[in-house]
Each structure stands twice: as structure tokens, then as C-alpha cells.
A and B are shown apart, each in its own frame.
Chain A
Amino acid sequence: QVQLQESGPGLVKPSGTLSLTCVVSGGSISSDNWWSWVRQPPGKGLEWIGEIYHSGTTNYNPSLRGRITMSVDKSKNQFSLILSSVTAADTAVYYCAKSGNIFGYVTDSWGQGTLVTVSS
């Protein structure tokens, strides 16, 4: 059973850069899965940020394109999210997740989430 754990600063200044890492345990990041990020502003719904395959292929949400970079580190079995030029609207719980190939690719495992607050 794959487990995911997010880590990163809980507070980021406006116009700064948000940087999160997700460590994958119980499975290889080089397996046939997409690795994704989803966020949830306080009291609101879920927003898909983007996904990355172990080859480095990415799909990003167009609403955030230009500000997002995702990467994979196979040696550490982890993947990362960088979101630049953040504003208060980027305050959210950020989840990393795995999408397994069960019916197309379905998000079937989630990290516990980490709250990132954008504030000066």
C-alpha cells in the first residue's frame, strides 16, 4: 500500500514561492502511476493543480500555468511542486496523491495534506 507524505513551509509571503515535496513510501515512483497535487482552500472545494509521470511528462491546470513547476526525484522516491508569485488566493491545504491505472488513471491514494498560508 503506497503512502504519501507532504512536507514544506506552512507560511509563504505574498509574491514569494511555495515549495512542497511529497515522499512516496511502500512503492516506487517509477511505477505506472501519475503523481499529482490537489489543493483545497479553507472551507472550499477541491482544485486539481497538476500531475507528473516518472518520465517527467507533466499536465498542469491551465488556470495556474506559468506559475507551476513539478519535478520527480527518483533517487529519493519523491516528487515536488513549486508555485511562484503566490497571493492570498493560494492559501490552501495541499494534498499530494497517486493516480493508479485502474480505469484510466484514477486518484486512489492521498497524503494527509499540509496547510500553506500566504501572508506577510
Chain B
Amino acid sequence: DIQMTQSPSSLSASVGDRVTITCRASQSISSYLNWYQQKAGKAPKLLIYGVSYLQSGVPSRFSGSGSWTDFALTISSLQAEDFATYYCQQSYSPPQTFGQGTKVEI
């Protein structure tokens, strides 16, 4: 299985901050890297797929970058509604594996 390692596991930030979450794959996954946002008690929501493609309806303050094994999710100016847990996921090969999650809190 491909292991996905996110860092940090949690972070504290304020509204307006620039936030970056990183994700490392245990082997090359080309560009098959996706990011999800999950709020408490809700299903995950797809934010970014294929490293940097924004899902329809997702605000442009979210962006993704990286390639092969190292990836990042950046929120350019954190908003109140962005406080949530974020997961990376590889869809390169089954089993599709997730990172352990990064909780973004105040």
C-alpha cells in the first residue's frame, strides 16, 4: 500500500492567515493527489483533485501544488468557514489511501 503522511497533524491559525499543509507519499503517485475538507459530523468534501485542479464551487483561496511524492495544500487567506480537518488522498492505485488528517483550528 502507498502510505500518505501529512504534516502538521494540527495547527492553530487566525482569520486572514496563510496556511500550508503538506502531504508526502511513500512512492511516486504522479499527479493523482486529492484534497478533502471535513467539518465535524459531516462527510468529506472534495476541494482539489489532480494536485491543483479546483473542484467546482471551491473558493480560489484554496490551491494545490507538488508532484511525484511531495504535495501541498495552501489556503491563501483563512476564513472562519475554513476551520476543519483536511485530508490528502492518493488515487494512483488501490487501495486508495488517505493521510492522517490536519486539523485547522483557532
Q: Are B95 and A61 in contact (CB under 8 A)?
A: yes
Residue A47 is within 8 A (CB to CB) of chain B in the complex? yes
Binary A-proximity of B87-99 (CB < 8 A = 1, otherwise 0): 1010110111111
Instruction: Please indicate the chain A residues that have their CB under 8 angstroms from the CB of B89 in the complex.
Output: 46, 48, 107
Which B residues are CB-close (under 8 A) to A62?
Answer: 1, 95
- Chain B neighbourhood of A59, CB < 8 A: 94-95
By DSSP majority rule, is chain B's interface helix, strand, loop, or mixed? Answer: loop
Across the interface, name the chain B residue whose C-beta is closest to A108: B46
Interface residue B22 (Cβ < 8 Å from any Cβ of A) = no
Among B34, B43, B87, the residue within 8 A (CB) of A106 is B34
Within 8 A of B (CB), among A32-81: 36, 38, 45-48, 50-51, 59-63
A105–B95 contact, CB under 8 A? no
Which residues of A have CB within 8 Å of B68?
A: none
Residues of chain A lying within 8 A (CB to CB) of residue B50: 102-104, 106
Residues on the A chain within 8 Å of B99, using CB: 45
Report the bound CA distance from A113 to B42 in whole Å. Answer: 8
A110 and B91 contacting across the interface, CB-CB below 8 Å: no
Q: Which residues of chain B are near A103, meaning CB under 8 Å?
A: 31-32, 49-50, 53, 91
Chain B residues near A108 (CB, 8 Å)? 46, 49, 55
- Verify if B8 is at the interface (C-beta below 8 Å from A): no
Are B94 and A104 neighbours in the complex by a CB distance under 8 Å? no
Cβ 8 A contact of A45, one of B42, B91, B92, B98: B98
Check A104 against B44 for contact (C-beta < 8 Å): no
**Are the CB atoms of A95 and B95 closer together than 8 Å?**
no
**Contact surface of B with A, Cβ cutoff 8 Å:** 1, 31-32, 34, 36, 38, 42-46, 49-50, 53, 55, 87, 89, 91-92, 94-101
